[in-house]
């Protein structure tokens, strides 16, 4: 079937062995041309074709033909819709408006087939039929809707599919979590429950701009960090435990004897030789807190940093502890300004139980500080760097503990105040200035 | 509002925006400066209320949100054009 625009440059992208978005767009374009289901399209059926056309033109000109941002949205919400317009509307009228709609994904992205079909039907009928599953925050993204369809899509989403928009702009972004206890024995917390609960508690922050810039929560059930919260969220919740790793000595010996496959057989594609517990586990422990005497494994929990390597290698023998909670990391971000940053350990351990009141105190303390002190477009991690980690601790009323010190003796970011030291001290600033000019 | 009543605060916001030359959209933090005696969270709530009342409107780039008087500055119709 002939498409509206010739796309020789885009066609090159279909030639490799990998899946191609160009092939997907062409398939959708043909499907909308045929319209075998007789759908009453509310946006032009040619949207995928004009999208291919405008992307081809960008490849020819080596510059974008999109204008990004706008006042479009749904009533009362300050996020969830991002305006996008084509700067060649006569050439590509079907994508003259091509707004992005972010939709809050279900926790852990568990769907029923019926729910997915409802979503796809809505996107096909009222949008371009093109989705992005999932955007980088995890949202379900409907790519390309015309302005008059925005409120219609929102109404159908909230009334028929029981789903809300996600976050964008200076808002709390759509919280995301790992599969948690639903599929994973390592989960130390109920990631879906806390994700869903805090999404509901902070509805206002999700939909109505309150912050200097974006703010992301992500919830990982264990330190394996499958949703990469430590790198991708301003406040990262990582499941952990404070008692001992549970050891099944019989199973440890079964790994050593070759009866059980290490890493659950994940590296079975090549013969790596017999499992060597000393080389593959004990010697790789980053804090050297493990010992194997030939028949018994022991772990000094006080020195364990929860790296998960031993548990991942011998999951039948080692299990996470039972006194579980979360570690909170603050300040991760991508490299838009001043390079990428990983989260810094803010709260080493806190229980994580419904209704999460202690966690809410931490969250709201950080927000109050950031809303007061943060500059426009400054992430909380950048504020933490600018004012010092100690200010973040003060914001949540936490005292510095050794776990906060990243590099002892080279990173003196904990400063004592006079009232914190018994007896205090007196400083004669005039005497000091005699020897140290400003 | 803590110090001003709500109508007085709204009036300050609207008048400040009307006086601005050139720029029509502002960060939420700018609104805090115009009402220095009020709590930031209350100003945020008021601004959001004024959006619901269609006095103000949001502009979003996707990563950042700006706020301005409804109907002032570049509008959806113009955003579609090539200006």
Q: Is residue A87 part of a domain?
A: yes
More confident call, A423 vs A227? A227
Q: Residue A409 is part of a domain; what is its CATH number?
A: 3.30.413.10
A370 close to A396: Cβ distance less than 8 angstroms: no
Nearest to A372 among B40, B58, B65 (CB): B40
Q: Is residue B80 part of a domain?
A: no
If asked whether residues A184 and A254 sit together in one domain, one would say no
B5 close to B14: Cβ distance less than 8 angstroms: no
Whether residue A375 lies within 8 A of chain B, CB to CB, comes out as yes
Provide the angle, in degrees to the nearest 10, between the axes of the packed helices A147-160 and A113-126: 160
Q: Is residue B37 part of a domain?
A: yes
Q: What is the pLDDT of residues A157-192, one digit of tens each?
A: 999 999 999 999 999 999 999 999 999 999 999 999
Q: Decide if A79 and B65 are in contact by the 8 Å CB cutoff.
A: yes
Backbone φ, ψ for residue B8 (5° rounding): -65, -40
Q: What is the pLDDT of residues A74-94, one digit of tens each?
A: 998 999 999 999 999 999 999
Q: Which strand (E) or helix (H) includes residue A386?
A: helix A380-387
Q: Is residue B67 part of a domain?
A: no
Residue of B nearest to A100 (CA): B62
Q: Is residue B72 part of a domain?
A: no
Structurally, chain B folds into a number of domains equal to 1
Q: Which two tokens stand for residue A239?
A: 């499941």
Q: Give the model's pLDDT for residue A342.
A: 93
If asked whether residues A154 and A64 sit together in one domain, one would say yes
Nearest to B58 among A71, A368, A374 (CB): A71
**What is the domain extent for residue A287?**
246-319
State the pTM of this model: 0.89
Indicate the average pLDDT of chain A: 93
Q: Residue B28 is part of a domain; what is its CATH number?
A: 1.10.10.10
What is the dihedral sign for C-alpha B68, B72, B74, B77?
positive
Q: Is residue A165 part of a domain?
A: no
What is d(CA A397, CA A388) in angstroms, rounded to the nearest whole number? 15
If asked whether residues A198 and A338 sit together in one domain, one would say yes
Interface test with B, best of A54, A68, A69 (most B CBs within 10 A): A69
Q: What is the pLDDT of residues B58-79, one digit of tens each?
A: 998 888 899 999 988 866 545 5
Q: Give the model's pLDDT for residue B80.
A: 47
Structurally, chain A folds into a number of domains equal to 3
If asked whether residues A12 and A24 sit together in one domain, one would say yes
For residue A410, what pLDDT band results from cuts at 50, 70 and 90?
Answer: low
If asked whether residues A279 and A198 sit together in one domain, one would say no
What is d(CA A116, CA A158) in angstroms, rounded to the nearest whole number? 15
């Amino acid at each position: 079937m002939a498409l509206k625009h010739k796309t020789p440059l885009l066609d090159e992208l279909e030639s490799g062995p990998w899946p191609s978005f160009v092939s997907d767009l062409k398939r959708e374009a043909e499907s909308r041309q045929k319209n075998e289901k007789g759908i009453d399209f509310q946006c032009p059926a040619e949207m995928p074709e004009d999208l291919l056309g405008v992307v081809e033109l960008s490849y020819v000109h080596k510059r974008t033909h999109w204008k990004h941002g706008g006042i479009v949205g749904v009533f009362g919400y300050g996020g969830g819709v991002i305006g996008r317009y084509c700067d060649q509307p006569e050439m590509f009228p079907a994508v003259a408006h091509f707004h992005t709609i972010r939709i809050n994904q279900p926790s852990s992205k568990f769907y029923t087939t019926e729910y997915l079909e409802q979503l796809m039907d809505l996107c096909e009928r009222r949008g371009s039929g093109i989705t992005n599953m999932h955007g980088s925050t995890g949202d379900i993204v409907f790519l390309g809707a015309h302005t008059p369809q925005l409120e219609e899509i929102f109404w159908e989403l909230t009334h028929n599919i029981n789903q809300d928009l996600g976050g964008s702009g200076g808002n709390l972004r759509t919280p995301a979590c790992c599969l948690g206890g639903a599929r994973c024995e390592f989960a130390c917390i109920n990631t879906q429950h806390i994700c869903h609960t805090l999404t509901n508690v902070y509805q206002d922050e999700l939909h109505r701009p309150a912050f200097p810039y974006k703010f992301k929560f992500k919830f990982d059930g264990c330190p394996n960090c499958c949703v990469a919260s430590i790198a991708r969220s301003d406040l990262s919740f990582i499941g952990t435990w404070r008692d001992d790793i549970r050891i099944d000595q019989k199973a440890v010996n079964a790994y050593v004897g070759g009866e059980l496959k290490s890493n659950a057989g994940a590296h079975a594609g090549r013969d790596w030789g017999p499992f060597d517990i000393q080389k593959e586990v004990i010697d790789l422990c980053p804090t050297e807190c493990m010992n194997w005497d030939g028949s018994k494994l022991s772990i000094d929990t006080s020195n364990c940093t929860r790296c998960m390597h031993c548990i991942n290698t011998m999951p039948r023998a080692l299990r996470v502890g039972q006194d579980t909670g979360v570690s909170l990391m603050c300040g991760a971000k991508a490299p838009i300004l001043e390079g990428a940053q990983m989260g810094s350990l803010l709260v080493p351990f806190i229980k994580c139980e419904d209704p999460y009141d202690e966690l809410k105190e931490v969250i709201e303390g950080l927000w109050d500080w950031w809303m007061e002190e943060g500059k426009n477009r400054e992430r909380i991690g950048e504020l933490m760097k600018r004012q010092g980690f100690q200010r973040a601790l003060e914001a949540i009323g936490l005292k510095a503990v050794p776990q906060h010190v990243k590099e002892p003796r080279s990173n003196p970011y904990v400063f004592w105040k006079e009232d914190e030291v018994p007896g205090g001290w007196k400083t004669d600033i005039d005497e000091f200035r005699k020897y140290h000019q400003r | 509002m803590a110090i001003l009543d709500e109508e007085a605060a709204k009036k300050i916001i609207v008048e400040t925006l009307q006086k601005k030359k050139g720029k029509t959209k502002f960060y939420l933090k700018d609104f805090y400066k115009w009402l220095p005696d009020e709590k930031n969270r209350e100003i945020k709530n008021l601004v959001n209320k004024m959006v619901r009342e269609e006095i103000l409107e949001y502009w979003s780039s996707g990563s950042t949100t700006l706020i301005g008087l409804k109907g002032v500055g570049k509008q959806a119709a113009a955003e579609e054009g090539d200006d």
